[in-house]
């Protein structure tokens, strides 16, 4: 009992409740703590880590932490090369993943990632009420929320939901219930000398196929549209290079077949021959094809487990049932409910050239969570943030430094921006990192936002958004092969872009 009474955050009234102890919940709690916002952090799990306590199935991540990088470890710039460590409030806890990896790969293993999240939690002294499952939600007349949990009721004016996109989803084709979901994949030895049919051409399907290559007799991967490859999209959209081996086996005729076909139905097979028959219809010409196989796995994705929030008024969309969100990750239909972690993908941002943010991955979501914490602190708790002043002569160099080294702009391209306000009476102030969609659409006083963008050709280039007299203009700078934009031509280009807003000020621009 003594142990029970020591659990933090007993049921009761809190200004804010965060639900979830994956990377999203931990990062937002850490940042809220740094801003002095009292809150409870609840988790159904017994340890931190969220989905990394279980997946990826083949136990190695897709996101890297490079032990040796062009910049020093434990610096902010190093975060560009370390996609997996959460961002602490003090420098001593930076880059926690580096010390926990065994050197066999720069992609951490799943247990290494879990250890990293546990280490971040203990080293930064984050408090979590584990074993406390959120079970339902309602609202009081005064607008506050009631969270029902397995430990009792919590009331709070503000909620941050960070429960991942973690509930297995499968399409409704007849017989799809006969397929195992990715989440229920068996130990790989189970598939020795078997014919495997994988539904879905996302990374999860190709991850399974890659892991099964040494075991399965035949692998068929099918979905209606062609596989997209990250090496072709020049982005994180599509199947990552690590999982391309099945694709090559398909092209070279190695016992893997990749089909563009819809699943008509799955039915029991003939006894003694094959347990399952999968009937497909080819997308290009509607030809029906049937496959007798030993196992069917639906690598068809996950949905956000929002419990009763949609009934309460939280609008959702898309196959992943993501909540529709504002640029600051607040429910578009239920103010006061915010989202962190992978659910933040529902705040799509500008999606320029069709390239999404990295909000579905740790390296993107960790920055969203920090921006969210600042937004909540200022808008709901009256916190005044520090807004450092910049001399006009230092603006060009400051922005080019951020564009060259700032990790937020690198990981969340065309999604987060470094914003400077340009008030003639108040001077030039660093407003920090903010959502670009908000900057572009919300209007407001004169300001500049700097971000990095890519257009699908492989080039990465800075883009400056200038808000002047209420309207926003867009100005791209040249790409640079080493991604170092601190060049004479970039200085000159940026200075001329900023001239209309800085040129008339009493202090001259940086000389270029």
CB of 97 to another protein, least distance (A): 31
Determine how β-strand 302-303 pairs with β-strand 167-168: antiparallel
Please pick, from the candidates 54, 133, 351, 387, the single residue that binds another protein as defined by CB under 8 A.
Answer: 351
Task: Tell me the backbone φ, ψ of residue 194, rounded to 5 degrees.
Answer: -115, 160
469 touches another protein (CB under 8 A): no
CB of 165 to another protein, least distance (A): 14
Please pick, from the candidates 188, 213, 289, 315, the single residue that binds another protein as defined by CB under 8 A.
Answer: 315
Alpha-carbon distance of 125 to 133, in angstroms, equals 22
348 touches another protein (CB under 8 A): yes
Residue 155 structure tokens:
């009331």
Q: Which is nearer to another protein, 90 or 225 (CB)?
A: 225
CB of 497 to another protein, least distance (A): 15
Q: Which is nearer to another protein, 237 or 390 (CB)?
A: 237
Q: How many CB atoms lie within 10 A of CB 393?
A: 14
CB of 453 to another protein, least distance (A): 8
Q: Which is nearer to another protein, 16 or 263 (CB)?
A: 263
Q: Which is nearer to another protein, 296 or 355 (CB)?
A: 355
Please pick, from the candidates 13, 153, 308, 474, the single residue that binds another protein as defined by CB under 8 A.
Answer: 474
**What is the DSSP annotation of 401-433?**
HHHHH-HHHHHTTTTEEEEEEEETTTEEEEEEE
313 touches another protein (CB under 8 A): no
Rg (CA), the chain: 25
473 touches another protein (CB under 8 A): yes
Task: Tell me the backbone φ, ψ of residue 328, rounded to 5 degrees.
Answer: -100, 25
319 touches another protein (CB under 8 A): yes
Please pick, from the candidates 12, 254, 313, 318, the single residue that binds another protein as defined by CB under 8 A.
Answer: 318
Determine how β-strand 195-199 pairs with β-strand 145-149: unpaired
Please pick, from the candidates 414, 420, 434, 450, the single residue that binds another protein as defined by CB under 8 A.
Answer: 414
Instruction: Report helix, strand or coil for 363.
Output: helix
Alpha-carbon distance of 269 to 273, in angstroms, equals 7
Site string for another protein, 421-450 (x = CB under 8 A): -------------------xx---------
476 touches another protein (CB under 8 A): yes
# residues near another protein by CB under 8 A: 41
CB of 500 to another protein, least distance (A): 16
What's the Cα-to-Cα distance from 257 to each of 51, 138, 171, 263, 462, rounded to whole Å? 30, 49, 21, 15, 41
Residues 210-229 within binding reach of another protein (CB under 8 A): 223-225
Alpha-carbon distance of 264 to 471, in angstroms, equals 51
Pair 207, 57: CB distance under 8 Å: yes
Instruction: Report helix, strand or coil for 290.
Output: strand
| Short-list 370, 466, 381, CA closest to 412 | 370
Pair 439, 409: CB distance under 8 Å: no
345 touches another protein (CB under 8 A): no
281 touches another protein (CB under 8 A): yes
Q: Which stretch binds another protein (CB under 8 A): 58-66, 158-166, 379-387, 471-479?
A: 471-479
Q: Which is nearer to another protein, 255 or 360 (CB)?
A: 360
CB of 191 to another protein, least distance (A): 26
Instruction: Report helix, strand or coil for 384.
Output: coil
Site string for another protein, 164-183 (x = CB under 8 A): -------xxx----------
198 touches another protein (CB under 8 A): no
Alpha-carbon distance of 136 to 150, in angstroms, equals 10
Alpha-carbon distance of 175 to 277, in angstroms, equals 10
468 touches another protein (CB under 8 A): no
Q: Which stretch binds another protein (CB under 8 A): 8-16, 83-91, 427-435, 468-476?
A: 468-476
Helix (H) / strand (E) containing 309: helix 309-312
Pair 431, 447: CB distance under 8 Å: yes
Q: Which is nearer to another protein, 126 or 355 (CB)?
A: 355
Residues 232-271 within binding reach of another protein (CB under 8 A): 260-262
CB of 337 to another protein, least distance (A): 14
Instruction: Report helix, strand or coil for 178.
Output: helix
Alpha-carbon distance of 414 to 452, in angstroms, equals 6
Please pick, from the candidates 213, 289, 324, 483, the single residue that binds another protein as defined by CB under 8 A.
Answer: 324
Site string for another protein, 352-371 (x = CB under 8 A): xxxx----------------
Residues 6+ positions from 346 with CB-CB distance below 8 Å: 304, 316, 317, 318, 322, 323, 324, 325, 329, 339
CB of 224 to another protein, least distance (A): 4
Q: Which is nearer to another protein, 97 or 355 (CB)?
A: 355
What's the Cα-to-Cα distance from 262 to each of 183, 224, 259, 325, 326, rounded to whole Å? 21, 5, 9, 31, 34
16 touches another protein (CB under 8 A): no
Residue with tokens 């190709």: 206
CB of 239 to another protein, least distance (A): 14
Q: Which is nearer to another protein, 6 or 285 (CB)?
A: 285
In degrees, to the nearest 5, what angle opens at C-alpha 353 toward C-alphas 350 and 358? 60
Give the residues lining the site for another protein (CB under 8 A).
171-173, 223-225, 260-262, 281-284, 286, 315-319, 321, 324, 326, 332-333, 348, 350-355, 414, 440-441, 453, 455-456, 472-474, 476
């Amino acid at each position: 009992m003594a142990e029970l009474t020591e659990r933090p955050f007993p049921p009761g009234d809190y200004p804010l409740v965060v639900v979830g102890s994956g990377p999203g919940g931990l990062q937002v709690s850490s940042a809220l703590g740094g801003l002095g916002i009292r809150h409870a952090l609840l988790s159904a799990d017994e340890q931190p880590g969220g989905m990394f306590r279980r997946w990826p199935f083949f136990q190695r991540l897709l996101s890297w932490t490079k032990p040796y990088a062009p910049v020093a470890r434990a610096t902010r710039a190093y975060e560009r090369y370390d996609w997996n460590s959460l961002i602490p409030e003090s420098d001593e806890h930076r880059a926690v993943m580096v010390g926990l990896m065994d050197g066999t790969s720069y992609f951490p293993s799943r247990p290494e990632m879990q250890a990293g999240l546990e280490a971040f939690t203990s080293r930064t002294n984050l408090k979590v009420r584990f074993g406390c499952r959120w079970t339902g939600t309602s609202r009081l007349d005064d607008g506050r929320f009631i969270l029902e949990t397995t430990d009792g009721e919590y009331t709070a004016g503000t909620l941050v939901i960070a429960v991942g996109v973690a509930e297995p989803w499968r399409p409704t084709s007849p017989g799809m219930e006969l397929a195992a979901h990715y989440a229920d994949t068996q130990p790989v030895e189970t598939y020795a000398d078997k014919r495997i049919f994988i539904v879905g051409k996302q990374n999860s399907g190709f991850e399974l196929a890659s892991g099964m290559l040494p075991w399965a007799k035949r692998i068929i991967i099918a979905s209606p549209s062609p596989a997209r490859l990250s090496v072709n999209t020049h982005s994180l959209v599509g199947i990552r290079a690590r999982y391309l081996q099945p694709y090559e086996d398909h092209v070279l005729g190695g016992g893997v077949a990749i089909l563009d076909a819809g699943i008509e139905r799955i039915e029991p097979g003939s006894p003694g021959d094959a347990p399952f028959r999968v009937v497909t219809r080819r997308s290009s010409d509607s030809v029906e094809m049937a496959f007798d196989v030993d196992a069917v796995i639906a690598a068809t994705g996950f949905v956000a487990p929002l419990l009763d929030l949609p009934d309460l008024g939280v609008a959702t969309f898309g196959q992943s049932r993501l909540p529709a969100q504002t640029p600051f990750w607040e429910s578009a239909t239920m103010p006061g409910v915010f989202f962190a972690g992978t659910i933040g993908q529902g705040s799509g941002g500008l999606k320029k050239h069709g390239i999404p943010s990295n909000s579905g991955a740790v390296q993107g979501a960790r920055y969203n969570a920090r921006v969210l914490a600042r937004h909540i602190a200022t808008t709901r708790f009256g916190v005044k943030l520090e807004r450092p002043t910049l001399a006009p002569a230092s603006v060009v160099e400051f922005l080019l430094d951020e564009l060259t080294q700032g990790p937020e702009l690198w990981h969340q391209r065309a999604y987060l921006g470094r914003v400077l306000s340009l008030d003639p009476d108040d001077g030039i102030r660093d407003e920090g990192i903010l959502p670009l969609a908000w900057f572009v659409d919300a209007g407001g006083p004169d300001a500049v936002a700097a971000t990095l963008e890519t257009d699908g050709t492989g080039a990465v280039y800075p883009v400056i958004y200038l808000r002047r007299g209420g309207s926003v203009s867009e100005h791209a700078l040249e790409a640079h092969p080493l991604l170092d934009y601190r060049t004479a031509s970039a200085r000159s280009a940026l200075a001329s872009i900023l001239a209309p807003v800085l040129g008339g000020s009493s202090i001259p621009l940086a000389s270029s």
